[in-house]
Chains A and B, each alone.
Chain A
């Protein structure tokens, strides 16, 4: 039942092992995939009118090696067209920057709101229910509407561009985990510690800097990672609903439309999207590496 007690391993062995296991899991998934294309019904399986099994023929489920080969081949027949993999990576880079902008805006707003709620009880009691409520409802459904703002708003010299709509939606999704996580973290110091600071007549700023902020780290880091993942989802969905060119969301749709003649192509875009999520979360993990001593127990 219980896992064997962890042995002391050198620092680099663990990540290496995890990577190996990840590759293994990927290989296992690929093997299951190939097995199904071999044995599964070509027309898919139906029960009570609902299709329950995917179609195993090559147009629906291309072979893994076909996908790899397709990624290395040129994107289109036009001369000088980049390979699918390069086009995919370029699109990922575009979306990553937009998602990052959204993430930053969401983090700043979320943290700011959390500080406000922590400082002022009334603000907390008035705002917090709405924060929780909005986190639980699919406000991302607004994406097609917000996206319509592109090119239609102008404040001074600043023209509202489409990518800003995308970043806005990404920031909206990133905002909530950060606001909730940061508030929980800022409120996490024990009463005894707060009273210790009060007994020493520490200023609110001092209490914030030396007590609440360090105490919030274990709560904030998982929130930041979650925010990175949701910012990526937000950016992709927003790109899809606008048709913003250049990003991975657009690529997913464009390649999907080519699926009937080029079944391996859409998978290249999926690989890109998955990669994007991992990279975004990985960047946040890198960011938190230096905060080791504040991270005794992370709370997700």
Chain B
């Protein structure tokens, strides 16, 4: 009973707000006779979504595959780089500013040249873009995690004459895991955004981004919005998945 009240108190305000927003949107579009090229009504978007649902699904799978491969690749490189940077001051001095610079650069701008380098029919350019975008936050948080060994744990392992390898295996790596997952969660949304947006720069036409642009180019605005909904759902899937990983890792360490 109590749990129900708590859940209600937590979820009711955002749900009410969301519903009110949708109603106001519908009323505005219908009442003010707003043209669909400005803003289609929610019901029009819903109708279109039902019509093109299979295409939304396959496009989301294509884009989702790019995101997944890119995340795995970027994370793997970031972990290797972070371990190297934690061990060697030279690597750290080279990598940390590079990661900071990469994190503020518009990486999607690389899409056209990557398309020439790998061929326009390849998915590799998009996956590479996702990987580069994921690299920066995962590298930064993982390195922070590897550095945050508590002095008391360090003293303890020294007192027990533990070897550097034992220190890594028993203290440093388990301690850095939650940080790695936090980086992954931060990276997840930008990864999806980059994968969708990279499709705006040309290349293969099988993903959500390309469908949105082609629908917009054909003045099928409600259909474009339906694909946008697909992109939103894809973003949520990756966010919730990485959030669950982060929570699980944090629970294990009592955080």
Q: Which residues of A contact B (CB under 8 A)?
A: 1, 3-4, 18, 21-22, 24-25, 28, 44, 50-52, 54-55, 59-61, 122, 125-130, 133, 135-145, 148-149, 152-153, 225, 228-229, 232-233, 236-237, 240-241, 248-249, 252-253, 255-256, 259, 263, 266-267, 269-270, 273-274, 276-278, 280-281, 300
Q: Nearest Cβ in chain A — how far from B49, in angstroms?
A: 14
Q: Is the CB of B188 within 8 A of A136?
A: yes
Contact of A52 among B114, B124, B172 (CB under 8 A): B124
Give B100-128 as 1s and 0s: 1 = Cβ < 8 Å from A's Cβ atoms. Answer: 01011110111011111111001110000
List residues of chain B with CB within 8 A of the CB of A255: 112
List residues of chain A with CB within 8 A of the CB of B84: none
Q: Tell whether B225 is near chain A: CB-to-CB under 8 Å.
A: yes
Q: Nearest Cβ in chain A — how far from B116, in angstroms?
A: 5
Given contacts A4-B89, A144-B213, contact A276 B106 (CB under 8 A): yes
Q: Is the CB of B124 within 8 A of A50?
A: yes
List residues of chain A with CB within 8 A of the CB of B176: none
Given contacts A130-B18, A140-B197, contact A51 B118 (CB under 8 A): yes
Residues facing A in B41-72 (CB within 8 A) are: none
Contact of A21 among B38, B97, B123, B124 (CB under 8 A): B97
Q: Which residues of B contact A (CB under 8 A)?
A: 9-10, 13-14, 16-18, 35, 37-38, 86-87, 89, 92-94, 97-98, 101, 103-106, 108-110, 112-119, 122-124, 140, 164, 167, 172, 188-189, 192-193, 196-197, 200-202, 208-209, 212-213, 216-217, 221, 224-225, 227-228, 231-232, 234-236, 239
Q: Is the CB of A253 within 8 A of B201?
A: yes
Q: Is the CB of B117 within 8 A of A54?
A: yes
Q: Is the CB of A232 within 8 A of B188?
A: no
Q: Is the CB of A138 within 8 A of B235?
A: yes
Q: How far is the CA of A136 from the CA of B13 in the complex (A)?
A: 20
Q: Is the CB of B108 within 8 A of A51?
A: no
List residues of chain B with CB within 8 A of the CB of A129: 14
Q: Is the CB of A240 within 8 A of B193?
A: no
- Grouping DSSP codes into helix (H, G, I), strand (E, B) and loop, the A interface class, with mixed when no group exceeds half, is helix
Q: Is the CB of B239 within 8 A of A136?
A: yes
Q: Is the CB of B224 within 8 A of A144?
A: yes
Q: Is the CB of B200 within 8 A of A1?
A: no
What is the count of residue pairs linking A and B with beta-carbon distances less than 8 angstroms? Answer: 186
List residues of chain B with CB within 8 A of the CB of A25: 94, 97-98
Given contacts A136-B239, A137-B231, A273-B106, contact A55 B117 (CB under 8 A): yes
Q: Is the CB of B105 within 8 A of A274?
A: yes
List residues of chain A with CB within 8 A of the CB of B208: 141
Q: Nearest Cβ in chain B — how far from A275, in angstroms?
A: 9
Given contacts A126-B17, A135-B189, A138-B196, contact A50 B123 (CB under 8 A): yes
Q: Nearest Cβ in chain A — how far from B55, in angstroms?
A: 15
Q: How far is the CA of A4 from the CA of B16 in the complex (A)?
A: 55
Contact of A277 among B18, B105, B113, B213 (CB under 8 A): B105
Q: Is the CB of A228 within 8 A of B104?
A: yes
Given contacts A28-B94, A137-B232, contact A278 B105 (CB under 8 A): yes
List residues of chain B with CB within 8 A of the CB of A130: 14, 17-18
Chain A to chain B contacts (Cβ below 8 Å), 23 pairs: A25-B94, A52-B124, A54-B117, A125-B14, A126-B13, A129-B14, A130-B18, A135-B189, A136-B235, A137-B231, A137-B232, A138-B189, A141-B212, A148-B37, A148-B221, A225-B104, A236-B108, A241-B200, A252-B112, A266-B116, A267-B113, A270-B109, A270-B113
List residues of chain A with CB within 8 A of the CB of B209: 141
Given contacts A54-B117, A141-B208, A273-B109, contact A241 B213 (CB under 8 A): yes
